[in-house]
Amino acid sequence: MKKTVITAALLAAATFTSAAVSAQELSVKITNLTNGIYFTPLLVAAHNSGADLFEPGMASSMHLRMMAEGGDISGLVSDVANAGADYVANPASGLLAPGASTMAMLNTNGNKNGRLSIVGMLLPTNDGFVGADSLVIPRKPGTYTYYLNGYDAGTEANNEVINGGGAPGVLGIPAAPGGTGGMGATGVPVMHESHVVHIHPGIIGDMDPAGGISDLNPAIHQWQNPVAKIEIVVSKKMKGSGRDDD
């Protein structure tokens, strides 16, 4: 089945009820694997198999763009809250620093929410984000480990200039946590700009903290995928056949 935008698909899921399906409890531990990139407030959501927070190769929604360019998850939170998905917004109570971990507790609530999606902006980048795209939540109790890539939302040129930007349509990077960014860069020339979600190409950067083409330092801010590890602990088995990923 072709995936649809999350609002429409989850509204359909919210109306599903079945006495044959019981809740499935799980914890999701998220660890930042990067050297110098912070994750802005994360959104962790259990939803049905017809829904997405994002999909590689497809254009970003406006709410995904808000998250990827400025770390604003309010639009995506509104989508999942109104649609009946089980979710945790901002489990780290702020930025998730390099090497740090956070935990989210979820319950599928018997609403066929058998998929897991996670998003959070990579800071400092123009429109990069860490993402889990509709992972199937394991049915059997146990611990499961996955690794997440860094994606580019395809909504803004990666000019690598820290200027307090972050609103959709405002070119630039909001900030560099920890004071690790430079200032006064002229901007990385962008030869090609994709307009769909894709694997982030990483940064160009330079070693000039007071000029050059980039305000990012490759020794600090460059990364190679994966950018995050997640550990899912399933503590209660799903019963019945109500899930559409059976």
- Residues 6 or more apart in contact with residue 110 via CB below 8 angstroms: 17, 18, 21, 22, 23, 242
pLDDT tops 90 at residue 39: yes
Compute the Cα dihedral for 77, 238, 233, 51 and give only its sign. Answer: negative
Q: Quick check: 186 and 212 in contact, CB under 8 A?
A: yes
Q: Roughly what angle, to the nearest 10 degrees, separates helices 74-83 and 62-70?
A: 140
Which strand (E) or helix (H) includes residue 40?
A: none
pTM exceeding 0.85: yes
pLDDT in tens, 171-204: 999 999 989 999 999 999 986 778 999 999 999 9
The domain made up of 1-15+25-238 is a member of CATH 2.60.40.2130: yes
- Distance separating alpha carbons of residues 226 and 229, to the nearest angstrom: 8
Residue 65's SS3 state is: helix
- Distance separating alpha carbons of residues 50 and 150, to the nearest angstrom: 23
Domain regions of the chain by residue span: 1-15+25-238
Q: Quick check: 11 and 84 in contact, CB under 8 A?
A: yes
Which strand (E) or helix (H) includes residue 13?
A: helix 6-14
Confidence band (pLDDT; 50, 70, 90) for 18? very low
Where is average pLDDT lowest: 6-10, 81-85, 120-124, 198-202? 6-10
